[in-house]
Amino acid sequence: MDASDVESDLVNILFTEEQIQAKLAELAKQIEADYDGKDILIVGILRGAVMVMADLARAFHRHLEMDWMAVSSYGSGTKSSGVVRILKDLDTDITGRHVLIVDEIIDTGLTLSWLTSNLASRNPASVEICTLLRKPEALRMPIDVKYVGWDIPNEFVVGYGLDYQERYRNLRDIGTLAPHVYS
């Protein structure tokens, strides 16, 4: 879906599909260098990270393994509830593995703080985080994020996997959702 298909629902476009692809290629290059000589398991957080995970993985010039988790802290609202539930756990044993959590956005940090702690308790060699977007003003929990695409304002954004009530995920760009859509 193009931004022109939903332009009345968006305040502005923050990042185009081309900018996103370039940023993911840059992140992949940095991750490859940091994990040189190490096997890496990238763990995508469903559902939002599907686009980021797929395109990040395609930007790599080496083998990697992928797995998925589904966690929820939002329900159907626009703000994190702070209560994290595992809806789908990993299929892979991460003992002794280098794990890179891939997410599309860090908002309050509560979900990823909990998830990082949960995965660290499973005895991996390392656990790091890669996110396409981070909202520094919204953070309520300090969280160490090794790879960040962009820091953005504390606004409700959609597209490229980010949704509002399961809509807009297939928007190729990332834009700020107009308040009339969710108020």
Catalytic residues: 107
- Sequence-distant (6+) residues with CB within 8 A of 65 are 39, 40, 41, 42, 92
For the sheet with 40-46, list strands across it. 85-88, 65-72, 40-46, 98-106, 126-134, 147-151
Reduce the DSSP state of residue 177 to 3 states and report it.
strand
One-letter amino acid at 104 equals E
CA distance 174 to 169: 9
CA distance 174 to 5: 13
Reduce the DSSP state of residue 179 to 3 states and report it.
helix
Neighbours of 171 (CB within 10 A): 24
CA distance 35 to 97: 12
| Token pair for 58 | 């395609």
